[in-house]
Amino acid sequence: MLRFIKIFFLTNALLGAVVLYAGNKDIELLGAGATFPYPFYSKLFHVYSNAYNVKVNYQAIGSGGGIRQLINKTVDFGATDAFMSDKELKKAPMQIIHIPTCLGAVIITYNLPNRPKLKFSPEIISDIFLGKIKMWDDKRIKAVNPGVKLPRMKIVVIHRSDGSGTTFIFSDYLAKVSKEWANEVGRGKSLKWPLGLGGKGNPGVAGLVQQIPGAIGYVELIYALSNNMPVGIVKNKSGKYIVPSINTVSLAANIKMPEDTRVSLTNTDAKDGYPISSFTWLIVYREQDYGGRSRDKAKALVDLLGWIIHDGQQYAEPLHYAPLPKEAVKIAEKVLKSIAYDGKPILK
């Protein structure tokens, strides 16, 4: 018994020493939120913590969870695919600011014999997902796809079953291009789908689409590119048919941005932009002096954010994310400079 107690105390002392040592050496930043940019973030944080002595621990628990955790002040930063609404911001205990980190897009994928390249107009997409276009050889699909042999097959709609930023971006787009969609379904991370099957996550949707002949679904661009899935070409607001790619997604952000960076890029005004694109954001409190946080920690956080919008951008493209355009970086810089500690700005 005595020996057991001895060992117990010894290990405790050792453990304490290790913790103290680690605590002295590094600053640890905690983040949580969106799953969509997770591969990008984990690469960024890995590179960053090797270069600077700052550990970043990011949990991909979903955008909603990220916002909740920031509001509860259990993390240093949150991450979200859909910017917080005015109503959500008002509910937060202090002012929250958004910093865009990269762009993502949602693409239409389908399962048809011979993998034809298909064009879609916004009306066709919304009517398929509303259940009004039921067959693949519908004359409206034929009209925008001259020369493509469309089979007489039933369209099977596949959607996400879990709440997700991907669904939000997709439904936000549909609500903008179709009045009927806006009235009957609306926009949100989970929806009341008028028809179809649900798959969990991008792999769930992709799996169902690949299995069911005649299926159509939506997944993130990065997922479609890395899995070589058929990708629909979508007509944008200026009437151009745009092939989704990292380039056309970046181009979607070629618009005038608001000061707080909270802007929806779906159905973008940009002439050559892919219309179902979106920023993804990190969210932090503007005033960093809360809950007994040290100035060093606040400084480390701002440095990390600054590094992400500048040097970090080079890691986006190899991972199929679209980097921020210059205009967006400039505005993000301004936002970053507004972050303060005890009322005084951290960056000069």
Q: For binding to other proteins (CB under 8 A), which residues are involved?
A: 61-65, 67-68, 88, 154, 156, 161-165, 185-193, 195-200, 204, 207-208, 211-213
The CB-of-167 to other proteins minimum distance in angstroms stands at 9
Residue whose CB is less far from other proteins, 63 or 268: 63
Q: How many CB atoms lie under 10 A from the CB of residue 294?
A: 12
CA 167 to chain centre: 11
Closer CB to other proteins, 62 or 325, in the complex = 62
Distance, in Å, from the CA atom of 35 to the CA atom of 41, rounded to the nearest integer, reads 10
Give 16 or 186: the residue with its C-beta nearer to other proteins: 186
Structure tokens at 94: 């202090």
Q: How far is the CB of 158 from other proteins (least distance, A)?
A: 10
Of all helices (H) and strands (E), which one includes residue 280?
strand 277-285
Residues in the chain: 348
CB of 64 to other proteins, least distance (A): 4
Cβ proximity to other proteins: between 199 and 244 the closer is 199
Least Cβ distance, residue 208 to other proteins (angstroms): 7
Between 116 and 207, whose beta carbon lies closer to other proteins? 207
Q: Nearest distance from residue 67's CB to other proteins, in Å?
A: 7
Beta carbon of residue 59, minimum distance to other proteins (angstroms, whole number): 11
Residue/partner pairs of 64-67 with CB below 8 Å, 24 or more apart: 64/163, 64/189, 65/32, 65/33, 66/31, 66/32, 66/33, 66/34, 66/283, 67/33, 67/283
**Measured distance between the N- and C-terminal CA atoms of the chain, rounded to whole angstroms:** 60
Cβ proximity to other proteins, 156 vs 346, nearer residue: 156
237 vs 274: CA distance, rounded Å? 9
